[in-house]
């Protein structure tokens, strides 16, 4: 199957929000006889390139799965290299200024290194007024963990007398999640050949279109994205209707 296309669909056929599961970095490195950390570094370069392209063609929001709650089970050296890579990206403030990107982070920050937490807070504050594209980085993120976090927030509000349990709405739960105030993803893309969400945006993806591709993330190009966008543009989104 050819998974590339030179041009994106017309702007009025593009999704407003895409989620990307950046998968295949380790396999990309292994196939080249390289350490896994070099695969992650190559994947980070791809991420920067794809965000810039999304901004240029008019996609408003990109949510990228950078580090999951399950990734802590990986070898310590690999986890440390991923944290260093995130710090490198966030330390380069000119990077997201060039992209005119507003950065938001999804996930539980408490277990993260203090220097990374500080860089995340600084990046969010420093990019708050950027309007070119919104970039959500999911770090120490899990969809089930996010829902549990939201339910606990609602339970605390109920215990404090601020909410009546019988009157809690779907909107209340959405507003208690890390993505509060943002639109749900229209499209979720997973490269690498795997065909599952792996605990990514479980609540928000209820009606997302899913596109699975065989290219490994470091090799993912704007032409691959165009192909995925073309698949999306050809879908009939009825949201349960006729």
Write out the catalytic residue numbers: 23, 71
What is the rounded distance in angstroms from the CA atom of residue 186 to the CA atom of residue 189? 10
CA-nearest of 30, 113, 19 to 64 is 19
What is the rounded distance in angstroms from the CA atom of residue 57 to the CA atom of residue 72? 35
The phi, psi pair for 199, rounded to 5°, reads 70, 30
Whether the Cβ atoms of residue 114 and residue 86 lie closer than 8 Å to each other: no
Measured CA distances, 42 to 16, 97, 159 (Å): 26, 21, 47
Buried b (16+ CB within 10 A) or exposed e, 187-225: bbbbbbeeeebebbbebbbeebbbbbbebbbbebebebb
DSSP state of 211: E
Partner residues linked to 190 by β-bridges: 212
């Amino acid at each position: 199957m050819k998974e590339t296309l030179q041009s994106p669909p017309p702007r009025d056929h593009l999704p407003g929000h895409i989620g990307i599961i950046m998968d295949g970095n380790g396999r990309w490195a292994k196939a080249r006889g390289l350490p896994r950390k070099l695969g992650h570094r190559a994947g980070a370069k791809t991420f920067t390139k794809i965000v810039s392209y999304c901004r240029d063609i008019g996609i408003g929001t990109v949510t990228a799965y950078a580090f999951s709650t399950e990734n802590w089970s990986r070898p310590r050296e690999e986890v440390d290299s991923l944290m260093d890579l995130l710090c490198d990206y966030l330390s380069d403030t000119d990077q997201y200024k060039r992209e005119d990107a507003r950065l938001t982070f999804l996930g539980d920050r408490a277990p993260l290194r203090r220097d990374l937490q500080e860089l995340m807070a600084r990046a969010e504050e420093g990019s708050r007024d950027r309007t070119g594209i919104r970039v959500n980085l999911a770090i120490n993120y899990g969809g089930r963990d996010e829902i549990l976090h939201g339910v606990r927030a609602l339970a605390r509000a109920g215990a404090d007398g601020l909410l009546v349990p019988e009157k809690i709405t779907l909107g209340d739960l959405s507003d208690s999640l890390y993505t509060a105030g943002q639109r749900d993803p229209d499209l979720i893309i997973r490269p690498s050949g795997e065909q599952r969400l792996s605990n990514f945006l479980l609540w928000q993806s209820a009606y997302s279109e899913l596109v699975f591709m065989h290219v490994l993330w470091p090799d993912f190009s704007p032409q691959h994205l165009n192909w995925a966008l073309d698949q999306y543009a050809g879908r009939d989104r009825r949201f349960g209707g006729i």
